[in-house]
A = this chain, B = another copy of it.
Amino acid sequence: MVSIKDVAKHAGVAISTVSKVLNHYPNVSEETKKKVNAAIAELGFVPNSIAAALSSKQTGRVALLLDVNRHVQTVDEIPMQYILGAINRAKELGMDVITVFFTMIQEMDVEEMTRYFQSQSIEGLIVCGLSKQDAVLHKLIKSEKFKVVLIDAPGIGIHTSNIHVDNVKAQYDVAKKFIIENKAKKILYISGKKNGYVSEERMQGMKQLAEELGLTLFTRTGNFSELEARKITMQYAKRRDAIICASDMMAIGAMKALIDMDIYRPVCGFDGISLMGYAGKQMHTVRQDFKQLAARAVDEMARLMEGHEGQEVVLPHQLIRIKYEDVIT
């Protein structure tokens, strides 16, 4: 392997000079810069990121924490969108994303977890789907030993940012449009998880709307589970005009249940996943661009790594209707 030393010799300069042009430091004359770059090209030199990391203590490695297989379904495409968005953006920024699933770390206590990430030389954590019950993770975040970007969970610190859409407004907006269009009065609302961050916000938006429009709101907790949404629908849908769900997966469960029951009720979802196109009917929903959400999270991580303080980032959402033709490829 050709190293920085070879380059230095070949270019007739000192090692540190090569290092400087590599890292785009100032204080290097155009001339020597050219010599060095020429040598690099000739030798086909590739900087060894491992050595750089060891020396500089800056690895640029961030872990993407995903909660696949917890309250998430088999066909859930959201984690994949997160991964795609994060990895692609990270590559552009010269960062390194390693994917970690909650199941891999759920048995650990704070110290184990800290050690685990430190041993991997991970500097930052992007956490997707943190819930209030994740005591260990909360402690880890509070310890401020890692830069953290929270997706869809609150929390700001010197090393902690969070990023999300305005869930209250989004639920309010989509439900309003949906209800007016369908002239509904008696609503079955299938919410997410009790004490869930986004769940509570969406619920709030729903309540706000119910009050404003004088709706009869009947609420049940679906835990973001398609199956639970199905059962709830079977039990309560008959006596309502329409069903609004806090997630698309639940909306799909509800829709399938209605088909099996052989009755029709309009259903409204939340997320904008393409699986919605397979559910049978065209459905209202809120579109979140998860790929972009993840990309922005990586950006935010880069900002934190540059030493800036944590902040809250709110991304826009849009209201859409998904049908099969939109998603088939």
A1-B118, A75-B75, A119-B48 are contacts. A84–B98 as well, Cβ < 8 Å? no
Closest to A72 in B: B329
Q: What CA separation (Å) do A115 and B2 show in the bound complex?
A: 10
Q: What CA separation (Å) do A98 and B64 show in the bound complex?
A: 11
Which stretch of A11-19, A149-157, A271-279 is in the interface? A271-279
Closest to A111 in B: B44
Which residue from B1, B50, B115, B328 sits with its C-beta under 8 Å from A253?
B328
Which residue from B54, B116, B324 sits with its C-beta under 8 Å from A54?
B54
A216 to chain B, nearest CB (A): 29
Which residue from B119, B256, B278 sits with its C-beta under 8 Å from A75?
B278
Q: What CA separation (Å) do A98 and B62 show in the bound complex?
A: 11
A51 near B49 (CB under 8 angstroms)? no
> Which B residues touch A79, using CB under 8 A?
80
Q: What CA separation (Å) do A79 and B327 show in the bound complex?
A: 18
Q: Which A residues have a C-beta under 8 Å from some C-beta of B? A: 1, 44, 46-51, 53-54, 59, 68, 73-75, 77, 79-80, 83-84, 87-88, 91, 96-101, 103-104, 111, 115-116, 118-121, 225-227, 230, 252-253, 256, 273-275, 277-280, 324, 327-329
11 new A-B contacts, CB < 8 A, other than A44-B111, A48-B119, A80-B80, are A46-B118, A47-B119, A49-B120, A50-B50, A50-B53, A50-B54, A75-B327, A77-B80, A87-B104, A91-B104, A225-B329
